[in-house]
Structures are given as C-alpha cells and as structure tokens.
C-alpha cells in the first residue's frame, strides 16, 4: 500500500513542480515525507500560491488536504515539528521508575493517540525492561501497556513485546488468565487482524486454547482456511504453489521464545525522521 501511495504522490510532486514553475515563483522549498508536506517560503503570498496549487493537484487525483492539519508558522524550527513531537520533547523523559515512565508514555498516547512519537519511547522502554529479571506487580504494567495498544493500534508490536516480558514474571496460571483478559479486551476493537497476529505470537507459547478469527492465526492452528481468492486460477500446479498452509514455518514456530526479542520488533519500533 505504501508503494502505491508513493507512486501516486510522486506523480503529484511532478505535477506540482511543473505548475509552480509556470507561475514564475522560485523562492520556496517543499519537503514531503510520505503524505506529510512541509512548505518553506519567505513571504505569505508565495505560501498561499503553493498551497492553492497543491490543493488543485490533489483534487484532480481524488485527494484533499486535511484542513485540521494544515497550519502556518513563522518559526522554521517549531513549525517543522508535529504537535505530538513538540509535546513529547517537553515531557519529562528521564523517569527512572518503570511504572512512572510507562505512565508518561500512556499520558502522551491519550493526548496523541496512534501518533508516531509513541513508537520510539516505547522501544526505549522495552529495551530497558528486558534487562530486569523481576518486577513487583507486573500486572499493573501489563494493564498500562495493553491500554496504550488499545488506543494506538500502531504500537501493537512493541506493546506485545513489553507484555511478553512482563508475562514471563508471572506464574503459569496467572499468565493464562492475563492472556485471556487481554484477548477479551482487544476483541472489542474493529479490524483486529493485525492485533490478533501479535497476540498469538505471545499466547502461542503459553496458552493454545485461544481462538482467533484472523485467517493467518487460524493457519497457525492448522485450520484449512482460504487466505485469498484463487478460484479464478485454473492451473492445478499454480494453485498448489499458492497453498496458504505453506506460509507457516512449523520449525520456526517450535523455536519461538516466550519473550519477544528486540530484533522481532525492530522494523516496527519507530519511523525514521
């Protein structure tokens, strides 16, 4: 999906550049990261022209700018930062107590749900957590981590890793009970396939009795479910090659550790800015 989006927005960049060239203005700079635009100008009139032209290009592609996120600023430094990142930079981040540190991240997540600025502090928290052997009342930290994930689905991978470490500090019966409760809470969310894949990652080594609706999870449970529609394929050999059961590596499943290692979530931990 990101690849297709980049193709469309890359075309929009070319159209914008050509149209601005025709206007005769040149005293500007535009930076784009994914679908975020930063326009730097030396006078408001040039900025209005760029914004108007960009809006026209987007409309022709069936897209539009988010009015609530389109703002102007006289400060190049603060204006180039998202509000969630500016808030995080002014937050007390050096808290030594694990629970207080996670609560600070939770508070930031409440103010800026599903924001990219949550990913890096959560990753730092997890890398600090993995060094601990025991923690008093790990269930409290599990509750906070689960609530962060509940409000910010993009944090599922890192929060899952955090929970996996905390679960290792509980007795077996307690682990099962906590996993069941997490599953019950998360099923209240819509479109939970992504979450179920990560939840199964930690439950697979502790509690096999949980039933997931996500097709990928059911394949892990050895159920014969369709992953994609291949009814249109007539070639038997090609159909066999596309057998979804083949994507589950049983050898890797047996090698899974109860605690999710940092390398498993490294690609999801934080965006590059």
16 and 101: one domain?
no
The pLDDT-based confidence of 52 (bands split at 50, 70, 90) is very high
CA distance 258 to 131: 15
What are the DSSP calls for 113-166, one per residue?
TT-GGGHHHHHHHHHHHTT-S--S-HHHHHHHHHHHHHH-GGGHHHHHHHHHHH
From 46, 80, 114, the end of a domain falls on 80
Residues 204, 134: one domain? yes
Q: Which residues partner with 172 through β-bridges?
A: none
pLDDT in tens, 138-148: 999 999 999 99
Q: What's the mean per-residue pLDDT of the chain?
A: 87
Quick one: 136 and 203 in the same domain?
yes
Range 200-228 average pLDDT: 87
Which neighbouring-strand residues pair with 33?
A: 36
Q: Which of 62, 80, 98 is the last residue of a domain?
A: 80
Q: Are residues 112 and 66 in the same domain?
A: no
- The residue segments making up the domain with residue 226 are 87-269
Q: Are residues 103 and 149 in the same domain?
A: yes
Report d(CA 6, CA 199) in Å as an integer.
Answer: 30
pLDDT digits (tens, 9 = 90+) for 161-213: 999 999 999 988 899 899 999 998 888 888 888 889 999 999 888 877 788 88
pLDDT-above-90 percentage for the chain: 42
Closest by CA to 87, choosing from 113, 58, 55, 60, is 113
Residue 75 shares a structural domain with residue 108: no
Question: Among 80, 115, 145, which residue terminates a domain?
Answer: 80
Check whether residue 23 and residue 74 sit in a common domain: yes
Residues of the chain above pLDDT 70, percent? 92
The reply to whether 114 and 222 lie within a common domain is yes
Task: Quickly list H helices, 204-234.
Answer: 215-220
Span 64-75, average pLDDT: 83
Block residue for tokens 């993009």: 154
Mean pLDDT to the nearest integer, 48-61 = 94
pLDDT of residue 230: 81
Q: Are residues 53 and 133 in the same domain?
A: no
pLDDT score of 89 more than 70: no
Residues 264 and 199 in one domain: yes
Q: Where are the beta strands (DSSP E) in the chain?
A: 28-33, 36-41
Q: Which residues contact 12 (CB under 8 A, 6 or more apart)?
A: 57, 58, 61, 63
Same domain, 58 and 115: no
pLDDT surpassing 50 at residue 135: yes
User: Is 0.85 topped by the overall pTM?
Assistant: no
Distances (CA, A) of 32 to 51, 56, 112, 268: 13, 17, 22, 21
The verdict on 73 and 93 lying in the same domain is: no
Domain count of the fold of the chain: 2
CATH code for position 63 = 3.30.70
Q: Could you tell me which residues come within 8 angstroms of residue 150 by beta carbon, excluding any fewer than 6 positions away?
A: 185, 186, 189
3-state secondary structure labels for all residues of 72-88 = CCCCHHHHCCCHHHHHH
């Amino acid at each position: 999906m990101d690849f297709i989006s980049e193709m469309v927005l890359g075309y929009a960049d070319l159209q914008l550049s050509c149209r601005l060239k025709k206007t005769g203005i040149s005293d500007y700079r535009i930076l784009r990261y994914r679908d975020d635009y930063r326009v730097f100008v030396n006078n408001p009139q040039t900025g209005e022209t760029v914004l108007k032209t960009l809006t026209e290009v987007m409309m022709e592609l069936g897209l539009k700018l988010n009015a609530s996120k389109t703002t102007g600023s006289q400060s190049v430094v603060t204006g180039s930062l998202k509000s969630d990142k500016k808030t995080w930079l002014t937050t007390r981040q050096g808290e030594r107590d694990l629970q207080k540190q996670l609560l600070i991240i939770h508070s930031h997540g409440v103010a800026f749900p599903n924001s990219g600025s949550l990913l890096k502090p959560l990753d730092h928290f997890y890398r600090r957590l993995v060094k601990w052997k025991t923690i008093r009342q790990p269930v409290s930290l599990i509750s906070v981590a689960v609530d962060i994930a509940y409000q910010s689905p993009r944090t599922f991978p890192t929060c899952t890793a955090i929970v996996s470490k905390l679960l290792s500090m509980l007795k077996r019966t307690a682990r099962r009970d906590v996993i069941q409760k997490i599953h019950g809470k998360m099923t209240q969310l819509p479109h939970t396939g992504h979450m179920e894949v990560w939840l199964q990652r930690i439950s697979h080594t502790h509690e096999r009795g949980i039933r997931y609706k996500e097709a990928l999870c059911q394949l892990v449970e050895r159920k014969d479910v369709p992953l994609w529609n291949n009814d249109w394929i007539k070639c038997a050999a090609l159909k066999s090659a596309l057998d979804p059961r083949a994507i589950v590596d049983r050898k890797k499943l047996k090698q899974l550790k109860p605690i999710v290692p940092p390398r498993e979530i490294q690609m999801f931990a934080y965006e590059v800015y």
